[in-house]
Structure 1
Amino acid sequence: MTNNLSVVVNADAQQVWTMLREPSLVAQWHGWEADDLADEIKQIYFNTDVVEGPDHTSLTVNGGDIFELHPVSGGTEVRITRVALDHDSEWADWDEDITQGWLTFLHQLRFALERHPHGHRRTHFVTLPGKGGPAIEKLGLGDLPPVGEEYSLTLATGEKISGKVWFKSRHQVGLTVHSYAEHGDGLLIVAEQLPIPEKRPDGGSMVIASTYDLGAHTLADIRSSWDNWKAENYGS
């Protein structure tokens, strides 16, 4: 279980709060592009069960998980406290997936606010079955420098990428990628998914590539490289 669900964002608490309370801004860090993203955001962050703290430093989202904002040296710590697991819930088997998802989204929140506070991201999302082997290793991301240091490598997809290591955890890696943005950089996150008996017995992986202001052809090339690599290594 992942216990450290927090990031320090180089922004004040009001800026972070705004990113949590405007649907169009939540879409810049929660999840990835999908037909049902707007509905998902509404259900999680703007449902009638959602509770805003009176001082705008806490937010209890639908389901009971709590965002807390704490001013610290260097900005604002954003912390998520998971609700106690209900073993009878339909979501019980997916509890660790939800925890890992929050970790991913916290790092996407930090990236959006620090690097592209007024940007509009375009994403490419890839799911991979577990039988093909861990994606982090297959992509060549198993031996990265420490967080904050620069890297330069060629992914197994054939893409040559460079930037800095954004974060690393037990099951995830995040990299800034210069070629994923016209100005500045984009973000690549690769996350391993743990096995779930009878539902996902072999585990799996997911990839979220967040890009900014790229031309249509450049974005299409990035998407094609990921999709072709998936087909070659995991089947269609």
Structure 2
Amino acid sequence: MTNNLSVVINSDAQQVWTMLREPAKVAQWHGWEADDQSAEINAIYFSPNVVESADHTSLVVDGGDIFTLKPVAAGTEVSVTRAAVDHNSEWAAWDEDITQGWLTFLHQLRFALERHPHGTRRTFFFAVPGTAGSAIEKLGLADVPAPGEPYSLTLATGEEVAGKVWYRSNHQVGLTVHSYAEHGDGLVIVADQPAIPELRPEGGSLVIVSTYDLGAHQLEAIRDYWDSWRAENYPTSDPLH
């Protein structure tokens, strides 16, 4: 498995471009719900440094990374090309995290367009230190089937989930989850993070849960499963948000 920074989305290029160029649409796939999400989106996608191509096939975001849209038989291939690393930058140590983040967000973009193009997601997010081991392994996700294959399992959280494997890479697993949406599926992504000397010496993991159109009781039940598991296995980590 490779961490190829591209996805093929079953949508035309104009639909993809709209998801890149309207802040409310970007919020449906970039990151997760947070107090600073809107400011982050504006800084990355809508600052004066951002460059759009006239034909809407290329977008240079703040920092120099480039989105490229290419029509293909199955829809639109969307790829991200990373800018060269500035080793004097404060972000240099986090370069691999940024690469892994783009991989996550590309798959969330594909999911948003293919499964919930007009939906509004509600998310849960948490990050944990690597001291207690890989979250992918601890959750029982190391041996899920190949992308596109169905799965059904009981997570280490105690929650029974089923759906299809959305993607797998060297450090990430994405699963659709039937019970995370009123209609269709939701999405859960678990990503293990590399060690960064002096900053994150033991590595870590993060989890993003995307739900759609669920009631308050259902959302609270999902939160409880994940937060109880987090607290038991990674007691020094911060609660879900």
Tell me the TM-score normalised to structure 1 length.
0.98
* Structure 1 gaps, min length 5: none
Tell me the C-alpha RMSD between the 2 structures.
0.7
Q: Distance in 2 between matches of 1:218 and 1:199?
A: 36
Task: Give yes or no for contact 1:126–1:226 (8 Å, CA) kept in 2.
Answer: no
Q: Secondary structure at the match of 1:188?
A: strand
1:59 paired with 2:72, answer no
Whole-Å separation in 2 of the counterparts to 1:187 and 1:229: 18
**Matched ranges for 1:74-113 at <5 A:** 74-113=74-113
CA distance in 2, matches of 1:233, 1:51: 44
Q: How big is the shift at 1:3? A: 5.5
Give the percent of matched residue pairs that are identical in Structure 1 and Structure 2.
Answer: 74
Q: Which residue of 1 aligns with 2:223?
A: 223
Q: Which residue of 2 aligns with 1:190?
A: 190
Tell me the alpha carbon deviations over residues 12-70 of structure 1, each in whole angstroms, 9 at most, x when there is no partner.
Answer: 00000000000000000000000010000000000000000010000000000000000
SS of the residue corresponding to residue 125 of structure 1 reads strand
Local SS of the residue matching 1:223 = helix
CA distance in 2, matches of 1:205, 1:7: 23
Find runs of 4+ consecutive structure 1 residues off by over 6 angstroms: none
The separation in 1 between residues aligned to 2:231 and 2:104, in whole angstroms, is 25
> Aligned ranges for residues 41-190 of structure 1 at < 5 Å?
41-190=41-190
Matched position secondary structure for 1:195: coil
Counterpart residue identity of residue 200, structure 2: R
**Structure 2 unaligned spans of 5+:** 237-241
Under a length normalisation based on structure 2, what TM-score does the superposition of the two structures give?
0.96
Residue of structure 2 equivalent to 1:24: 24
Give distance in 1, aligned partners of 2:193 and 2:31: 15
CA contact (8 A) 1:10 1:74 kept: yes
Partner of 1:5: 5
SS in 2 for 1:102: helix
Number of paired residues? Answer: 235
